Amino acid sequence: MKNTAFIRFHQEAGARMIPFAGYIMPVEYSGINEEHITVREKIGVFDVSHMGEFWVTGPSAFKYIQYITSNDVSVLFNGKVQYSCFPNGKGGIVDDLLVYRFNPEKYLLVVNAANIDKDWDWCVKNAEKSGLMVGKDLINASDSIAQLAIQGPLALKAMQKLTKTTVTDMEYYTFKEIEFAGISDVLFSTTGYTGAGGCEIYVKNEEGPKLWNAIFQAGEEFGIKPVGLGARDTLRLEMGYCLYGNDINDQTSPIEAGLGWITKFTDSKDFIDKELLLRQKNEGVERMLKGFVMIDRGIPRQHYEIVDADGKIIGEVTSGTMSPMLKQGIGMGYLAKGYWKIDTEIYIRIRNKDLKAKVTDLPFYKK
């Protein structure tokens, strides 16, 4: 198991640590609900150094990323971030990811921690087709980068104290390379997985402790707290964000997953699975990922059966929890055609009882 650059701080804060994606990671400090509410109302800090980072450079970089990802890279400008996915050539998803454009010949791909090796193999496999040289044009920098996500409505206000560059007016899903907390060459990105606003900050591993101390000092007056993986999951679910391994995987297509908005069918873009996914878009699919809220009292969990009023199985829960903000059971799952309309009554089979729920729009939590 690997440790991130922040392991000492997690231990000193009394975090409950668990193995996750090859790392020892904090799942909670003071409690998931308390940490969740801190992010929604103030500022929380997540160690996300376990995420993967791949550099793609050179004259073929754009063509390569345009081919292996579903979204349209041509709309990016320098300093823009894009959410996308890797189609797997069989109608499924290798992973979802972020694409950072530095210039027309320099990009950073940020991938999920549990999929780093799989994603790297996939990127390497497709590199030669686009004329990229592994180790020169395609580099796996995952083990050398530390990353903190500072999330919450007060996050940018607190972080502004640590840099002369204006960050409080940055648009969502943009980034800057700045000096921050006395550290040069910091990647400061207004991204996140919580829906609460804030930023994600990338530095070299050796700068990690300096970054942690500066952030917590700057955020002290705003009630800053460290937050673990537990609240990261409940926060993303309240926003209806997909989690790889739960809501999307190698057997789910981006069209089924409601990710048609990151699957762009333009004449100038040729990408893996384009024809198959276009056919799904035009002809429709037999199942679709939908959100639901519990009407009866109960907490939905992954793999619970979803049934209709007659007890017929119509789907399966992919993610579920008790929402800390709504105080209500919420979840997502793939539903058969005919059950997709908002307010459609469905039932979640929990401990052999069919508890009533209804289909709802996303996100669950609206500020």
Q: Dihedral of the CA atoms 16, 17, 19, 23 (nearest 10)?
A: 150
What residues have CB less than 8 Å from 128, skipping those under 6 apart? none
Mean of the per-residue pLDDT values of the chain: 97
Which H/E stretch holds residue 199? strand 198-204
Per-residue model confidence (pLDDT) at position 74 = 98
pLDDT bracket for residue 129 (50, 70, 90):
confident
pLDDT in tens, 264-297: 999 999 999 999 999 999 999 999 999 999 999 9
pLDDT in tens, 1-24: 999 999 999 999 999 999 999 999
Strand 198-204 versus strand 183-189 pairing type:
antiparallel
What residues have CB less than 8 Å from 192, skipping those under 6 apart? 149, 151, 198, 199, 200
CA atoms of 347 and 307, how far apart (whole Å): 5
Q: What amino acid occupies position 288?
A: M
The residue-averaged pLDDT of 249-260 equals 98
CB-hemisphere CA count at 13 Å for 73? 29
- Altogether, the residues listed in the chain come to a count of 367
Per-residue model confidence (pLDDT) at position 128 = 85
SS3 362: coil
| Percentage of residues of the chain with pLDDT beyond 70 | 100
Tokens of 54: 């791949």
Q: How far apart are the first and last CA of the chain?
A: 38
Q: Dihedral of the CA atoms 58, 167, 172, 213 (nearest 10)?
A: 90
Q: Residue 65, exposed/middle/buried by CB under 10 A (0-12, 13-18, 19+)?
A: buried
Which H/E stretch holds residue 224? none
Largest CA distance in the chain: 63
Which H/E stretch holds residue 219? helix 208-219
Q: Please tell me whether the peptide bond between 363 and the residue prior to it is cis, using omega within 30 degrees of 0.
A: yes
CA atoms of 343 and 90, how far apart (whole Å): 33
| Structural domains for the chain | 7-51+144-238 (3.30.1360.120), 286-367 (2.40.30.110)
Q: What is the DSSP letter of 85?
A: E
pLDDT bracket for residue 353 (50, 70, 90):
very high
pLDDT bracket for residue 367 (50, 70, 90):
confident
DSSP 243-257: -BTTTB-TT--TTTT
pTM exceeds 0.95 for this model: yes
CA atoms of 132 and 58, how far apart (whole Å): 8
Residue whose entry in the numeric block shows the structure tokens 């289909």 = 359
pLDDT bracket for residue 130 (50, 70, 90):
confident
Tokens of 119: 């994603």
Could you tell me what percentage of the chain is helix, strand and coil, using 3-state DSSP and rounding each to the nearest 5? 25, 35, 40
Tokens of 70: 């579903």
DSSP 295-308: SSS----TT-EEE-
Q: What is the DSSP letter of 277?
A: H
